[in-house]
């Protein structure tokens, strides 16, 4: 983790040396020397981070280097803060001009002294580095192998059948896949996070009698994260020969890798074999052995089973052989409880007084078999004393650091220390979020970027790089997707509770984060990130240190939190880069906030703040201003001074009984086009621009970097100017256009063509169209289309039914006015979800065979004129969920009768979940058919 801090400082210095040369006058040489010194340390630190856990002296040296990097960052940012701004207006400015040189001279001398001290510390650290290089010569070669401590992964190979619970169904599926192999090679991958039981599952399949009969040759090879190609191939040869009771060939230890691959290939040719490669961490391990296995054989058949924590390895290894990937999921609740009780109460049942605390502990395990087994076995030694059980529950985090749960901790640490340095800081940062809270992808991407964790790469925008970081954490099974957008992209994710408990002390140790919880705080020496949980009781003991870089508040929080937050913001927090106050009980910001020179992220979502003062213009480094669902409706013209602003989010969605009624945006300054760095702009109320409405629409065309744009209250006469602006926004990923009112025409035919939007994924149009603009039908990248108030007539769908990537279609609130809606054969080949809502005149829906072949979800809401279930719905063989909501009583009665009389021949008999939600006598009732 020191490498993360040092790399961040290295990047900051690189930027300052390029962009802030005027401010660095007198210090540039010293700063360049520091820049060069830490540049030389980075490669060494990447390896030292993985070895510090087993060497206390190395760990202390790494800590010292990390603190030096933090100190250097503090000194230089304090210097920037002091000299970047000077008020030279009025009489006070005149006095400042007189006394500033003396004051600046003193300050420069002080900072020069501090920079020199940092340089000396770095030189001493560099000398000490050589000592460790002599002790660990392999560190100079860039090895990233982790500790050789016993980690317990091999224990799964020795488990008896009685110790295994919950693998019956996955085992049966894997055996089915194996039985279908008749010739050639098939690869099966089992993927999932640490502790899920991948090795246990595969071992039970490997040992099954049917597998022993089907395959003549069997070999189990444990790969691990620190594999060596030659050793791996030697081990495979020995295992294969041992299985047939043959000695290894002479000279095996001296054989080249290519020769060993050839030996394995010839040995397996025309044979029936199964080989398990357990615990692959690097794609290199698969690449090293993949060509050792015959792919096409006349008489033989082969199967390779891989276990891994990394999804990309699972996918890559199976792709060539058209194999199978099995994603192992946590145990369901019942199986978790069965396994836990078996371990915690081996000779008896659960006592009534321990049932509640048992459920709480089980919830912390979240279906992770390893955690359930280890924790259950530990609690079995507590003699059923509820006091000891409750004490354990409160201290799970510290228990992970102790001897009792070391097996869990070591397995988790393998995943953590295998992370590249740039992901360690990002992953530890997630410890700031309260447990059980869904973590929004977009929010985290903006926070990581503002914190400086995201390294710039040529040809990519910062948000794309940050999203790549998140995908890498998902790929490594360290976070899990909990909610997706309609097109399948991750929206929200979560982190396993035990994994979060593991990284909390890591983050605190690195001064990365401090979490206020239940009023019990142990402040690290120099906190960089402080998270306050609004669900806990507020405390007066709030940290107000000068080193704080981010303050995160997780609402809602009661009124007592308001004065405390004001106190923190008025404190000595001048170095803040992130101020996230989502859901905080505040109605204004203190003036001190608008003096935060380094601030990059200001989040006031879901607060009571109504006015943004003119002093917002002082925040010249601000990148994100999140005012969603607060009381602000207008921004001062000073917002145009924020030339680095990338995300401007200011809107409120109004819902009525689950329907989106309207979107309330904000009145933008006429010259909004001056904010050239904007990536997201949502939503501008064009009607509120008055006489400057057309100019505001025209200004939007200057924001050529936009990838998300929302405009509300558009009038018909704005169409030509809007199209002219949109024609220039070729980077758009999402476009949302809402008319002034129902019946107002949106004219979108001018200038626009499919080539205008090469990357557009989402299109939301609310307003009268009468017909779908021609260019929409050729948007090859479009995945989501939402239409409202469109007033379309028959055959309107022909324009869009050929969209090659459309996954979600939402026809809402008078978007279609025909009596019949027909989905024709061959149309909507990639559609996953279909929503039909508030289509008052719709009487019939017809689905021709061959239309929407992979549709898995259909929702029909408040279509009161619909007299019967869609004709041809039985053709949709992949439907998983059908919901009818707020329909006419006649429709519901007919649907229920058809189900009752149809039996297995019912047209929806193939759909796992059919739900009817209807209001009866003022009460909503849900019936599952």
Name the band, by pLDDT with cuts 50, 70 and 90, for residue 416: confident
Residue 369 burial (CB < 10 Å; 0-12/13-18/19+)? Answer: buried
pLDDT of 250 over the 60 cut: yes
pLDDT digits (tens, 9 = 90+) for 673-710: 999 999 999 999 987 665 667 888 999 999 999 999 99
The answer to whether 324 and 359 have CB atoms below 8 angstroms apart is no
Q: What is the pLDDT of residue 94?
A: 41
Name the band, by pLDDT with cuts 50, 70 and 90, for residue 150: very low
pLDDT of 88 over the 60 cut: no
* Cα distances (Å, whole numbers) of residue 787 to 77, 434, 809, 835, 860: 49, 37, 8, 10, 15
Highest mean pLDDT among 17-26, 47-56, 800-809: 800-809
Q: What is the pLDDT of residue 739?
A: 92
pLDDT of 121 over the 70 cut: yes
Q: What is the pLDDT of residue 687?
A: 77
**What's the mean pLDDT in 707-717?**
93
The answer to whether 811 and 839 have CB atoms below 8 angstroms apart is yes
pLDDT digits (tens, 9 = 90+) for 717-734: 888 899 999 999 999 999
Name the band, by pLDDT with cuts 50, 70 and 90, for residue 147: very low
pLDDT digits (tens, 9 = 90+) for 536-567: 766 655 666 677 889 999 877 778 888 888 88
Name the band, by pLDDT with cuts 50, 70 and 90, for residue 410: confident
Q: CB-based contacts of 303: which residues, under 8 Å, 6+ apart?
A: 178, 181, 185, 186, 187, 188, 215, 273, 274, 275
pLDDT digits (tens, 9 = 90+) for 561-611: 888 888 888 877 888 999 999 999 999 999 999 999 899 999 999 999 999
Q: What is the pLDDT of residue 2?
A: 57
Q: Which of 739, 689, 688 minimizes the C-alpha distance to 717?
A: 739
Lowest mean pLDDT among 60-64, 166-170, 372-376, 422-426: 60-64
- Enter the tokens of residue 119: 């340089």
Name the band, by pLDDT with cuts 50, 70 and 90, for residue 921: confident
Percent of the chain with pLDDT over 70: 85
Distance CA 534, CA 530 (A): 13
Q: What is the pLDDT of residue 139?
A: 46
Distance CA 122, CA 633 (A): 51
- Paired residues of 275 in beta bridges: 219, 304
Name the band, by pLDDT with cuts 50, 70 and 90, for residue 762: very high
pLDDT of 98 over the 70 cut: no
Highest mean pLDDT among 210-214, 552-556, 898-902: 210-214
Q: What is the pLDDT of residue 158?
A: 47
Between these two residues, 396 and 4, which has the higher pLDDT value?
A: 396
Name the band, by pLDDT with cuts 50, 70 and 90, for residue 519: very low
Tell me the pLDDT of the chain averaged across its residues: 84
Q: What is the pLDDT of residue 138?
A: 44
Lowest mean pLDDT among 170-174, 337-341, 900-904: 900-904
Q: What is the pLDDT of residue 626?
A: 96
The answer to whether 112 and 48 have CB atoms below 8 angstroms apart is no
Between these two residues, 771 and 97, which has the higher pLDDT value?
A: 771
Q: What is the pLDDT of residue 153?
A: 54
The answer to whether 159 and 190 have CB atoms below 8 angstroms apart is no
Q: What is the pLDDT of residue 320?
A: 85
Between these two residues, 32 and 467, which has the higher pLDDT value?
A: 467
pLDDT digits (tens, 9 = 90+) for 297-312: 667 889 999 999 999 9
DSSP H helices, 166-206, are 168-179, 198-206
Lowest mean pLDDT among 25-39, 340-354, 462-476: 25-39
Residue 63 burial (CB < 10 Å; 0-12/13-18/19+)? Answer: middle
Q: What is the pLDDT of residue 881?
A: 94
111-115 long-range contacts (CB < 8 A, ≥24 apart) are 111/27, 111/75, 111/78, 111/79, 112/26, 112/27, 112/30, 114/75, 115/27, 115/30, 115/31, 115/34, 115/72, 115/75, 115/76
The answer to whether 430 and 479 have CB atoms below 8 angstroms apart is yes
Q: What is the pLDDT of residue 459?
A: 83
Percent of the chain with pLDDT over 90: 38
**What's the mean pLDDT in 133-159?**
49
The answer to whether 529 and 514 have CB atoms below 8 angstroms apart is yes
**What's the mean pLDDT in 751-780?**
90
pLDDT of 452 over the 90 cut: no
Name the band, by pLDDT with cuts 50, 70 and 90, for residue 149: very low
Q: What is the pLDDT of residue 135?
A: 62
Q: Which of 129, 74, 82 minimizes the C-alpha distance to 103?
A: 82
Q: Which of 282, 273, 296 minimizes the C-alpha distance to 232?
A: 282
Distance CA 627, CA 633 (A): 9
Q: What is the pLDDT of residue 610?
A: 94
Distance CA 507, CA 427 (A): 9
Q: What is the pLDDT of residue 548?
A: 84
Q: What is the pLDDT of residue 141?
A: 42
pLDDT of 446 over the 50 cut: yes
**What's the mean pLDDT in 182-203?**
90
Q: What is the pLDDT of residue 86?
A: 44
Highest mean pLDDT among 96-105, 219-228, 360-369, 614-623: 614-623
3-state SS class at 860: strand
Q: Which of 32, 19, 116, 40 minimizes the C-alpha distance to 75?
A: 116
Between these two residues, 112 and 148, which has the higher pLDDT value?
A: 112
Q: What is the pLDDT of residue 157?
A: 52
pLDDT of 895 over the 50 cut: yes
């Amino acid at each position: 983790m020191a490498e993360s801090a040092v790399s961040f400082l290295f990047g900051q210095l690189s930027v300052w040396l390029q962009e802030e040369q005027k401010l660095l006058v007198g210090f540039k040489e010293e700063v360049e020397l520091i820049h060069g010194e830490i540049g030389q340390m980075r490669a060494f630190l990447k390896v030292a981070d993985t070895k510090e856990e087993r060497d206390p002296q190395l760990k202390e040296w790494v800590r010292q280097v990390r603190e030096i990097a933090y100190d250097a960052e503090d000194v230089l940012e304090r210097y920037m803060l002091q000299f970047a701004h000077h008020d030279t207006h009025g009489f006070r400015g005149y006095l400042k001009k007189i006394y500033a040189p003396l004051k600046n001279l003193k300050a420069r001398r002080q900072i020069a002294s501090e920079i020199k001290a940092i340089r000396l510390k770095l030189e001493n650290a560099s000398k000490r580095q050589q000592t460790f290089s002599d002790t660990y010569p392999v560190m100079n070669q860039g090895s990233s192998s982790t500790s050789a401590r016993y980690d317990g992964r091999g224990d799964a190979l020795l488990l008896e059948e009685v110790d295994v619970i919950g693998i019956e169904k996955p085992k049966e599926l894997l055996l089915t896949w194996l039985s279908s192999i008749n010739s050639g090679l098939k690869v099966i991958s089992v993927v999932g996070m640490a502790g899920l039981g991948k090795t246990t599952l595969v071992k039970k399949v490997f040992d099954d009698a049917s597998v022993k009969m089907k395959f003549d040759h069997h070999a189990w090879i444990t790969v691990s994260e620190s594999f060596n190609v030659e050793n791996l191939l030697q081990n495979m040869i020995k295992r294969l020969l041992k299985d047939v009771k043959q000695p290894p060939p002479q000279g095996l230890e001296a054989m080249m890798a290519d020769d060993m691959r050839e030996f394995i290939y010839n040995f397996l040719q025309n044979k029936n074999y199964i080989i398990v490669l357990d615990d692959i961490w690097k794609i290199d391990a698969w690449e090293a052995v993949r060509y050792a296995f015959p792919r096409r054989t006349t008489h033989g058949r082969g199967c390779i089973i891989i276990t891994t924590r990394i999804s990309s390895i699972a996918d890559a290894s199976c792709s060539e052989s058209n194999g199978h990937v099995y994603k192992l999921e946590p145990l369901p609740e019942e199986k978790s409880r069965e396994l836990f009780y078996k371990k915690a109460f081996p000779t008896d049942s659960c006592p009534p007084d321990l049932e509640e605390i048992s459920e709480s502990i089980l919830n912390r395990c979240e279906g992770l078999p390893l955690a359930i087994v280890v924790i259950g076995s530990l609690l079995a030694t507590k003699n059923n004393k509820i006091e000891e059980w409750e004490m354990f529950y409160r201290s799970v985090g510290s228990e992970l650091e102790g001897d009792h749960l070391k097996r869990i901790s070591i397995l988790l640490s393998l995943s953590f220390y295998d992370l590249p340095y740039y992901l360690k800081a990002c992953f530890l940062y997630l410890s700031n979020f309260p447990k059980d809270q869904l973590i929004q992808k977009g929010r985290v991407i903006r926070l990581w970027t503002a914190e400086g964790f995201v390294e710039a790469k040529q040809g990519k925008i910062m948000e794309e790089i940050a999203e790549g970081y998140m995908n890498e954490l998902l790929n490594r099974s360290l976070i899990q997707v909990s909610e997706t957008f309609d097109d399948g992209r991750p929206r929200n994710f979560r982190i396993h509770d035990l994994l979060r408990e593991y990284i909390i002390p890591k983050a605190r140790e690195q001064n990365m984060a401090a979490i206020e919880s239940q009023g019990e705080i142990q402040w690290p020496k120099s906190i960089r990130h402080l998270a306050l949980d609004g669900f806990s009781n507020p405390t007066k003991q709030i940290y107000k240190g000068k080193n704080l870089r981010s303050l995160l508040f997780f609402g809602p929080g009661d009124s007592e939190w308001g004065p405390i937050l004001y106190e923190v913001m008025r404190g000595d927090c001048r170095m803040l880069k992130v101020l996230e106050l989502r859901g905080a009980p505040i109605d204004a910001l203190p003036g001190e906030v608008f003096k935060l020179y380094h601030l990059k992220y200001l989040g006031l979502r879901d607060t009571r703040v109504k006015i943004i003062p003119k002093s917002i213009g002082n925040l010249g480094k601000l990148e994100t201003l999140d005012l969603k669902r607060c009381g602000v409706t207008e921004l001062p013209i000073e917002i145009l001074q924020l030339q680095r602003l990338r995300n401007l989010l200011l809107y409120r969605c109004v819902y009525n009984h689950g329907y989106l009624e309207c979107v309330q945006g904000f009145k933008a300054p006429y010259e909004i086009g001056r904010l050239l760095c904007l990536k997201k702009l949502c939503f501008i109320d064009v009607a509120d621009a008055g006489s400057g409405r057309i100019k505001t629409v025209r200004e939007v065309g200057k924001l050529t970097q936009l990838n998300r744009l929302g405009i509300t209250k558009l009038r018909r006469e704005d169409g030509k100017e809007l199209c002219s602006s949109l024609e220039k926004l070729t980077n758009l990923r999402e476009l949302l256009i809402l008319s002034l009112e129902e019946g107002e025409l949106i004219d979108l035919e001018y200038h626009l063509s499919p080539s205008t939007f090469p990357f557009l994924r989402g299109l939301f149009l609310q307003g009268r169209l009468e017909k779908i603009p021609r260019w929409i039908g050729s948007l090859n990248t479009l995945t989501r289309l939402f239409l409202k108030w469109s007033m379309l007539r028959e055959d309107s769908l022909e324009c869009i039914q050929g969209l090659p990537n459309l996954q979600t279609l939402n026809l809402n609130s008078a978007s279609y006015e025909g009596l019949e809606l027909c989905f024709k054969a061959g149309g909507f080949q990639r559609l996953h979800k279909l929503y039909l809502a508030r289509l008052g005149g719709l009487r019939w829906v017809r689905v021709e065979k061959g239309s929407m072949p992979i549709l898995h979800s259909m929702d029909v809401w408040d279509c009161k004129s619909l007299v019967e279930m869609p004709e041809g719905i039985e053709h949709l063989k992949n439907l998983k969920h059908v919901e009818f909501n707020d329909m006419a009583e006649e429709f519901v009665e007919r649907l229920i009768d058809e189900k009752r009389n149809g039996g297995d021949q019912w047209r929806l008999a193939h759909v796992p979940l059919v739900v009817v939600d209807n209001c009866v006598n003022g009460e909503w009732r849900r019936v599952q058919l």
